[in-house]
Amino acid sequence: MAFPRGGLRRRPAPALGPNFAETFAALPVAVLVIDPDGRIAHANAACEAMLNHAETTMIGQPYDAVLSPPDGYVERRDGHGFAAFDTEIEAVRGPRIRVDFVESHVADHPGWRIVTLHHAPQSRRVAQGADRTAGARAAVGAAAMLAHEIKNPLSGIRGAAQLLASAGEDRELTGLITTEVDRIAALIDRMQDFTDTRPLKLEPTNVYPLLDHARRVALAGFARGMVIEERFDPSLPPVLIDPHAFQQVMMNLLKNAAEALAGLAQPRIVLATAYRHGVSVSTGSGRPRLPLPIEILVMDNGPGAPEDIAEHLFEPFVSGKPEGKGLGLPLVEKLVRDMGGIVQYARERPPEMTVFRILLPRARA
C-alpha cells in the first residue's frame, strides 16, 4: 500500500507494504501523518478519539486547521524532529488537552512527518523541584528523620550481637542477627540517598567516559556474560550534569536491565545517545520551556514491567521483582530531576524493547 492517501501531494512516495493500514489503525497511540504540503494524510483511531475528529474529514486539511501545535513549534529547525513534553494543544473540535507532542520525519519519504500525541498523565516525567507540593516535601523530610532515628538502635543491636558472639553464645543465631541488621541498615542508606535534598554540582561534562566506565563495571559484575551494545552519536556536545550522580543513574539503570534479563537465552542491553533538536519540557505556568536535547537511552530485550505497575515505576517501594525494594528507579528519577532533566519508561517495537529514556540539558559556553 502506498504511504500517501488523501491530501495534495506533489511528489510520489515509496510503498510501505501491504500491512501498513492495519498496523497503523491498531496503534494505541494517537498518530497523525503529515504530507510534504503540510496536509493530513492519515489519522488513526486513537487520534480520532483524542481530537474528536473523524479521519475522513481530517484528510486533506492543513495540519494547523485541525489542531494548534505547541509553543516553539513554528521556530523548529527544518529537517529535524520536534518534541514538547507536558504541553497544551487545542483541537478544533475538542477541548484543550495536555500531551507529550513528538514530531519525527519519515525515513525515505522526504517531507513526510509523523506526529504522535501521548496523554501527559500517561508519560513518566519528572516534575521540577520547584513544583513539589508542601506535602511531598514534608514526606521526604519525615523519611529522612525516620531513617536517621532507626539507624541508632540498629547500631546498638549489632554491637550486642557481636558481644554475645565473643562470649561464646550461639554463633549461628548472632550471625543471623548481624546479617539482618546490616540488611536493614543498607536499605536505610538507600532511603537516605533518596531523601538527600542537597543541590548537585552541575558542570559541563563529556558523558562518554562515564558511559564507558558504567559499561565496563556492569560487564565485570552484574551483567557478566551479557551483550551491552553501544549506539552513540559521536557529535554529542557536553552535557550539564553532576558526574557522580549521572554515574549512579547509569549503574542503577544497567543493573535494572541486567536483572530483567536473568534467565533469558540471548540477553542484550543497548546504550544509545542522540541529540534531539526541539525537545523541551514545561517548567511551570508562565515560565519558558526548558530545552532538553541530550538523549541517553538504556534499552534491553527483557519482558518489561508488569502492566499493573508500569505507570508507577518511579514511585518509592514499587517493584516488579519479588526481592526488589522499589528504591532504585525513584532514586534515578530524583537524580535526573535534580540535574534538570526528565526520565521516561516505555515499551517500544520493533523489535520489542524496554526503554528508559533520559533527556538532559546541554552545557552552554
Written as one string, the DSSP assignment of 236-276 is PPPEEE-HHHHHHHHHHHHHHHHHHTTT-SS-EEEEEEEE-
pLDDT at position 140 is 57
pLDDT at position 195 is 61
Task: Give, for all 365 residues of the chain, the pLDDT tens digit.
Answer: 344 444 433 344 444 444 556 667 777 788 899 998 989 998 888 888 888 788 888 999 998 888 888 877 877 777 677 888 777 788 776 667 778 888 888 877 888 888 988 876 444 444 434 343 344 455 555 565 556 556 666 666 777 777 777 776 667 777 777 776 776 766 666 565 656 667 888 999 999 999 999 999 999 888 988 999 999 998 899 999 999 889 989 999 999 999 999 888 889 999 999 998 878 776 555 667 788 999 999 999 998 888 777 777 877 666 666 555 567 788 888 889 889 999 999 888 767 889 999 999 999 86
pLDDT at position 273 is 95
| Closest by Cα among 207, 211, 222 to 255 | 222
Residue corresponding to grid cell 491530501: 7
Query: In b/e form, how buried is each residue of 28-61, taking b as 16+ CB within 10 angstroms?
Result: eebbbbbbbeebbbbbbebbbebbebebeebbbb
Helices 243-260 & 328-338 angle (0-180, nearest 10): 150
Residue corresponding to grid cell 494548534: 68
Rounded CA-CA distance 225/352 in Å is 21
Rounded CA-CA distance 285/288 in Å is 8
pLDDT at position 135 is 45
Rounded CA-CA distance 2/224 in Å is 46
Q: Are 334 and 349 in contact (CB under 8 A)?
A: no
Rounded (5°) CA angle 186-317-184 = 20
- Dihedral angle at the C-alpha atoms of 332, 202, 358, 206, nearest 10 degrees? -120
Rounded CA-CA distance 148/143 in Å is 9
| C-alpha cell belonging to residue 213 | 566506565
CA 202 to chain centre: 20
Looking at residue 71, its amino acid is D
Rounded CA-CA distance 172/117 in Å is 59
